[in-house]
Amino acid sequence: MSYSYYKEIFKHTPTPFAFVDKDILLANCQAILKRAQDKKIRIATKSVRSVEVLKFLLAQSPQMQGLMCYSAEEAAWLAGLGFDDLLVAYPTVQKKHLQQVAAQIKLGKKIILMANQPEHLQQLQKIAVQEGIIQPICVDIDLSMPFFGLHFGVKRSNLTNAAQLNAFISILNQSPNLKLCGLMGYEAQIAGVGDAMKGRLLMNKIIQYLKRKSIKKLRQWRAQAVEMLLKAGFKLDFVNGGGTGSLESSREEGVITEVAVGSGFYSPTLFDHYSNFRHQPAALFALEICRTPQKGVYTCLGGGYVASGSVGKEKLPLPCLPEGCVLDNNEGAGEVQTPVLYAGDEKLAVGDLVFFRHAKAGELCERFNRLYWVEKGEISQEILTYRGEGKSFV
């Protein structure tokens, strides 16, 4: 969409604000469904963080089944709002949050908690006994790979081989109130690492090579883990894998029944650097130009919405409209002011808007209480973010 398109829509809207273009979101959704082929899609809530957007996405296709939450407390809250089939991707031993989950399970909700260490199983078993429930759980195996002294992937699970998984199974067999129903493995080095960065030809080639090597090895380990669990007598309702950046490789694995997708719906800047797909920016935020200190420099109020993870310029939000806007290298995106350099055809002045994209998807919602739905050239609705609902989980 063009600068003039959004400028007209938001000509009376106080800044700063964030919005989701519903038409683009729908196009991204359709593209992701096509990329996933026959695999079910579990929506990653951390990359969405708005109840209304989650409802919208789930309504688009029967292929969209279930949510992947990032907090047990979040899952219990969403269950209370009517959502079901909730997988919590990160372990917790917090008694209060586990009790909240148990309360929803007693009401008939399906909430699956993550485990990969003895401490997880011990606490989950203890609370399940106290609450009088059978707690569904999912085992998280590690899919990172060591290459030439490099840890290629993220540091998640301690379950890296068959011996460790066997030890986990032994402890699980002593936990009668826990029911293993799923296996998860997140290939972060495929799903979350761009391999088409501008100006980094050699690094892109190295990453592409490591991805190919990693895919072959992680497939073997995931298939072995599934086989071990089945032979141990467990019935797996699902095997979860992948992410927005790895749909093409994850969907080819026969043992995988569902893929997780979140960031691809909003398509933040970190997902501009993949060689095998490209989605459209559906979520943006806008700042007001509050002063023009010199020709070609337009200083905006606010904007320091830096994404999490390792520190780097790629975690900064980027101005995208008008086209040709760039950040000032010396200042970047600041807490109270963000200078933007622009020498294009638009006649910018104090009070005008500059539109930005965030580096990571759902984290943008931690900065705003509400999102505007944009649909067919107008604001159709105001919807709340998690923050607007008064919720902040981690």
The per-residue pLDDT for 152 is 77
The pair of structure tokens assigned to 283 is: 């979520």
pLDDT at 145 over 70: yes
What are the b/e assignments for 235-269, b being 16+ CB within 10 Å?
A: ebbbbbbbbbbbbbbbbebebbbbbbbbbbbbbbb
Structure tokens of 392?
A: 């902040």
pLDDT beyond 80 at 6: yes
**283-385 fold:** Lyase, Ornithine Decarboxylase; Chain A, domain 1 (2.40.37)
CA distances from 270 to 66, 119, 263, 355 (A): 25, 34, 9, 17
Q: What is the pLDDT of residues 52-77, one digit of tens each?
A: 999 999 999 999 999 999 999 999 99
Do the Cβ atoms of 281 and 287 come closer than 8 Å? Answer: no
Q: Where on the phi/psi map is residue 170: left (φ > 0), alpha (ψ -120 to 50), or beta?
A: alpha
Supply angle C-alpha 260, 387, 97, rounded to 5: 65
Residue 207 has pLDDT above 90, yes or no: no
- What integer pLDDT is reported at residue 236 of this predicted model? 97
**pLDDT band at residue 389 using 50, 70 and 90 as cut-offs:** very high
Q: In the Cβ-directed half-sphere of 215, how many Cα atoms lie within 13 Å?
A: 18
Report whether pLDDT(197) > 80. Answer: no
Check pLDDT > 90 for residue 206: no
Q: How many residues does the chain have?
A: 394
Predicted local distance difference test score (pLDDT) of residue 12: 95
Q: What is the mean pLDDT of residues 342-356?
A: 97
**Cβ atoms within 10 Å, residue 380:** 12
Q: Higher pLDDT residue, 320 or 189? A: 320
Between 115 and 188, whose confidence is greater? 115
Share of the chain above pLDDT 70, in %: 99
Kindly state the average pLDDT of the residues 112-121: 97
pLDDT per residue over 282-337, tens digit each? 999 999 999 999 999 999 999 999 999 888 888 999 999 999 999 999 999 999 99
| % of the chain surpassing 90 pLDDT | 82
Residue 150's pLDDT is what?
A: 74
Q: Residues 6 or more apart from 112 whose CB is under 8 A from it?
A: 86, 87, 88, 136, 137, 138, 181, 182
Q: Are 162 and 114 spatial neighbours (Cβ–Cβ below 8 Å)?
A: no
Band (pLDDT 50/70/90 cuts) for residue 204 is confident
More confident residue, 153 or 121: 121
- Determine the average pLDDT of the residues in 247-271: 94
* β-strands 283-294, 258-261 pairing: unpaired
In whole numbers, what is the pLDDT of the chain averaged over residues? 94
User: Domain-by-domain residue ranges, the chain?
Assistant: 22-265, 283-385
Q: Check whether 276 has a pLDDT greater than 90.
A: no
What is the model's pTM? 0.93
CATH of the domain spanning 22-265? 3.20.20.10
Statement: residue 196 has pLDDT above 70: no
User: What distance, in Å, lies between the first and last C-alpha atoms of the chain?
Assistant: 34
Q: Which of 186-195, 265-274, 301-310 has the lowest mean pLDDT?
A: 186-195
Does the N-terminal peptide bond of residue 322 adopt cis geometry, omega within 30 degrees of 0?
Answer: yes
